Amino acid sequence: MKAPASLIAIALVFAALYARALEGPQPARFAPPRGPLHAAAPPRFESQLLPNSSAPSVHSATAVEAAGGLRAFWYGGSREGAADVAVYTSVYSHRERTWEPERALVRRESVQRALQRHVRKLGNPVAGRDAAGRVWLFFVSVSVGGWAGSAINAMVSSDEGATWSPPRRLIASPFLNISTLVKGPPVQLADGTLALPVYHEMLGKFGELLRLDAEGRVIGKVRLSWGRSSLQPVIVPRSETEAVAFMRYAGEPPARILMTRTDDAGAHWSEPVKTTLPNPNAAVGSVLLAGGPLVLVFNNAEENRETLSLALSKDFGKSWRVARVLESETQLPRAPVPEYSYPWIMQDRAGNVHVLYTWGRSRIKHAVFDQAWLEGGG
């Protein structure tokens, strides 16, 4: 390159880079949590298995509140990691209190065609809604190797899940964009966009929070933890600036749920600490209920996933009380394979709390209850 033409080229290109950086997205606060629109009814608890007419193995349910109910997603197939695994969806009616028959929404072949990349298997979906009301579905796919080779894809629906955009690949890792997975639902930001908790699994295990733009592209990220023992973060905002994140623990005993906090809208997170609640290297779910109590749904054991419990905290995670048991050795009916795992939890606008979880790896189970039932236990 000849001067000064090359110097001018450097100056122009870097001026454009600086301009892009200066006009780039400003830090966004969390969207303030909303309270229920209606008062909750007297104590109520119901549970049922979701329909499953075809997949011997199902796992990792998620959902969004829909008009008059919920729209849930999960993955299922002949076994975890099989090429025939698809992401299924079904709709729950609050009025009918039933789930409609499931249908396959995303298959490996269609993802491969849309992404123009080889896709070997599909995995965890998570769903969320942005400020514009669009439903986002993020899901994991793997091209080579095991789950540590995962990447995240996104689809969006503007008509409550009737039609969907083609999948788009999220670019979130410098390692050929592999080893980024999702489990926790996205969090709304005050500027209308979403932040997506993700985790890395190759060599290290740690959580991150991705910032997405309106088209679902990754435009920033911050680390929630580091090292080799934390994954599957779930973020719970309490205000525009405060939030807590809980993570699955994969390290040395004692096995406890990990927790980290932010008080600057997610720009910085505290060093993760162990809570008092056990964790058998399994996913947890959490939500802030109307009126302030924080609830965690988790496997209340260090070694297995044979129990599933609900814990309440009235001081935003500092102390906990196990309020209810959803699954245990004494709860009937027991699943053929006693594993109750990968819980998802939310509170709907009417104040009802919904929990979805894997029931014996063969079904997804839905429990719905109100705050009075939850707080009345323990």
Q: Which residues are near another protein by CB under 8 A?
A: 1, 3, 6-7, 9-10, 13-14, 16-18, 20-22, 24, 109, 112-113, 115-119, 143-144, 168-171, 173-178, 200, 202-206, 208, 213, 217-223, 225-228
Q: Least Å distance between CB 287 and another protein?
A: 27
Whether the upstream peptide bond of residue 233 has omega within 30° of 0, thus cis, is: no
The one-letter amino acid at 335: A
Maximum distance among all alpha carbons in the chain? 80
Between 151 and 296, CB nearer to another protein: 151
Between 23 and 329, CB nearer to another protein: 23
Between 3 and 332, CB nearer to another protein: 3
Between 47 and 112, CB nearer to another protein: 112
Between 110 and 241, CB nearer to another protein: 110
Q: Least Å distance between CB 168 and another protein?
A: 7
Q: Least Å distance between CB 203 and another protein?
A: 5
Q: Least Å distance between CB 332 and another protein?
A: 43
Q: Least Å distance between CB 83 and another protein?
A: 13
Between 21 and 332, CB nearer to another protein: 21
Q: Least Å distance between CB 272 and another protein?
A: 11
